Structure 1
Amino acid sequence: MDLTLTQLRVFVAVAEAGSLRAAARRLGIAQSGVTQQLRKLETSAGGPLFERGHRGARLTSIGERLRIRADVILGECVRTENEMRQLRGELTGQVSLGVAAEAMMRLFPALLASFRERCPRIDVHLTSATSRVLTAWVRDGSLDFALALVSNEADIHDLDATTLFESPVTVIARRGHPLGHARTLRALKDCEWVSTRPRHSGDVVNRLSVLFEDAGLEPPRIAATTEAVFDTLHCVANSDYLALEPVRLAAHPFFRDHVEIVPIKEQALSTRVYLLRRAGVPLTPVAQELASMAVSFARMLPATRVTGVSAVMDETPRQ
């Protein structure tokens, strides 16, 4: 397969623009040039990459697979160009990172402000998603690194993982919930739950099910799953649904007037927030700077712990 970067750039431009004419305008070349590059690429790929119709150009199954690879390849090219400039002392370019909800609330705003003081010409592109998704995007090179929750059972042997902080979780309900003062999980057995994670999975997603199982109860009744913790907390704050989420989220100014911790005696397994990056692949100088700062900032965070029926925020910075 004799591919060129020019062919891949033209291919991605057509995929993004939805037509050859729009891609040609975006690239500043003649439409015939776009057609020529696509034909060469389709010959190498062994089949058509687009289905052309009155609604424009849509990717075929081969095209969809190539799009994934092309994004990775072109992303690495951009990273390499940035790295070469940065090694020459030109602090320009972009850092792409993923941040899970708790890391966003506890760490990122101050971290970004400090980084911008040091590197004002660097564009920081932030992606928020579940930790499961962020981990996948680190693996495929879409992100330079991520600040994500990782359970003890998760398989991250192919990644470099640096511990940032512990993340204890607790049951969260809306303020005024009829069972808001329950002291045992059994009292909540008939409630419905909203989760940011799939019902059946092998990592951190199963903490709620494990909590019920350890208490000798039937599996929890899941009303819905979401892809964002903010969606989960919004549902909880406006209904009688419950959620099992990080303690710090319930104490955040965005939510503390609307949700509260249900003081049950049972505690779910704590997890950790890690800085995840691809093993064996060096970060660009500015990405490494931001990653190192994230580790340093995390070491100064106050600890959070759950003591049976309440959450305690230890405001003594770690040394």
Structure 2
Amino acid sequence: MLGSLTDLDLRLIRVFLAVVDAGGISVAQTTLNVGQPTISTQLSTLETRLGYRLCERGRSGFRLTSRGERFYELGKKLFEAVDEFSSNARNMDRKLVGTLNIGLIGHTPVSQNARISQAIASFRERDEAVRFSISVRSPGELEEHLLSGQIQIAVGYFWHRVPTLDYAPLFSEQQIAYCGRGHPLFERSGRLDASTVADFEWAWRTYPLPEVQLSTTPGKVTAQADNMEAVSLLILSGHHLGYLPRHFADPYVKQGLLAALNPEVLRYEVTFHVVTQARGRQNPIVTAFLEDLTTAHLPANDES
């Protein structure tokens, strides 16, 4: 069993992480720039020093043991901490030093992505040495990652409120009901009323959106999807009606593949929020970035 970590131990752990990330020893040869026998020997040495097997490897392929899975997660955290320490040590004289993990929901309007980019640019003008890490997740995953500390800031729409998280409105997105070119309503689209469209089959999100009034009965919702790309495929099939963000649907409308049922009536607004842990605002990096993000979304910066 490992006692105090040595340089050798750290090198062996890095090899193990590289093999797991590559999905096996043969693929990891390119990443590590060493031969398969050397990698196998290094893994065996690490297992001997640990006193247990990390992975099964051979003709049947590469597979982590249960201990190997846990050790992999520990190893990642170890080197994340090492990187954080190195960054802090190199930038001791900077006011803001560390990592900022941001989670976003996919396919936000281009204008809003530009504002997030503007906030990043403003933040980079500060006296900082911060490493940005940005990921795209579903609303539920964003909240989970906030609660677990995997991210510090999330931007998206959320249908419930977690007491330990802070939600601040950022901007609104318009959702409109559409049909595909092969749908019976396609040629009549534009001024259809709610009673006419209610009897057709709909595609719906797997998560609730509190701003929307149900446009049909639950029995007519015959398809569900957890993201707008999947919903769009169902609508494009010509069999289902469904809601999509206007900015997302516009290219399909211009190609004649989608048509809005009645953009004056069958629509709703979704409010996007920036979310942090309640105590997260005490983090100077988070506080600084929220200031820049808020400034980027001020009316004076509205180009529309």
Work out whether the TM-score is over 0.5: yes
1:309 corresponds in structure 2 to none
Establish whether residue 170 from structure 1 lines up as the match of residue 176 from structure 2.
yes
Render the CA deviation track for 1:108-158: whole Å, top value 9, x for unaligned: 22432563476398765443332223333333344342211112xx24223
* 1:222 and 2:222 correspond: yes
Corresponding residue to 2:20 among 8, 15, 20: 15
> Runs of 5+ in structure 1 lacking a partner?
304-313
| 1:188–1:300 Cα change, 3 Å | same
Q: Report the Cα distance in structure 1 between the residues aligned to 2:276 and 2:92, rounded to whole angstroms.
A: 20
Work out which of the residue numbers 142, 153, 158 in structure 2 matches 1:150: 158
1:302 positional shift? 8.6
> 2:173–2:270: 8 Å Cα contact kept in structure 1?
yes
Q: 1:291 to 1:184 in 2, by over 3 A?
A: same
Q: Which residue of 1 aligns with 2:93?
A: 88
* C-alpha contact 2:167 2:275 (8 A) present in aligned 1: yes
Deviations 1:14-36 (A, max 9, x none): 31133457658756896444433
TM-score scaled by length of structure 1: 0.65
Matched residue, 1:37 = 46
- Amino acid in structure 1 at the alignment position of 2:55: F
The Cα RMSD (Å) is: 4.4
- 1:83–1:284 Cα contact (<8 Å) kept: no
Residue 190 of structure 2 corresponds to 181
Tell me if structure 2 keeps the 8 A contact 1:98–1:143.
Answer: yes
1:59 aligns with 2:64: yes
Equivalent pair of 1:85/1:92 in contact (CA under 8 Å): no
Distance 1:15-1:101 versus aligned 2 partners, 3 A rule: closer
Structure-2 change in CA distance of 1:188 and 1:284 (3 Å): same
Give unpaired runs (5+ residues) of structure 2.
none
AA matched with 2:177: V
Q: Which amino acid aligns with 1:163?
A: P
In structure 2, the CA distance between the partners of 1:26 and 1:161, relative to structure 1 (3 Å rule), is same
Q: Distance in 2 between matches of 1:302 and 1:246?
A: 22
1:139 paired to 2:147: yes
Contact persistence 2:165–2:276 (CA under 8 A): yes
In structure 2, what is the Cα distance between the partners aligned to 1:72 and 1:207?
39
User: Does 1:128 find its partner at 2:127?
Assistant: no
Which amino acid is 1:257 matched to? Answer: K
Change (3 A) 1:235 1:118: same
Map 1:106-121 → 2, pairs under 5 A: 106-113=111-118, 115-116=120-121, 119=124
- Equivalent-residue separation in structure 2 for 1:179 and 1:62 (angstroms): 61
Residues 278-312 of structure 1: per-residue CA shift (max 9 Å, x gap)? 44357976665444322222233899xxxxxxxxx
**TM-score normalised to structure 2 length:** 0.68
Cα distance, 1:114–1:132 mapped onto 2, change above 3 Å: closer
Pairing 1:98–2:103 present: yes
Matched-pair identity in %: 16
Contact 2:103 2:151 in 1 (8 A): yes
Bigger CA radius of gyration:
2
Distance 1:21 1:90 in 2: 44
Equivalent residue in structure 2 for 1:257, among 251, 254, 259? 254
**Contact residue 190 and residue 221 of structure 1 kept, 8 A:** no
**Cα drift, residue 164 of structure 1:** 1.1
> Is 1:232 the equivalent of 2:231?
yes
Q: Specify the SS of the correspondent of 2:142.
A: helix
Does the CA contact (< 8 Å) of 2:178 and 2:260 recur in 1? Answer: yes
Which deviations, in whole Å up to 9, do the C-alpha atoms of 1:219-252 show, x marking residues without a partner?
Answer: 333335254x2443355356353222344544x5
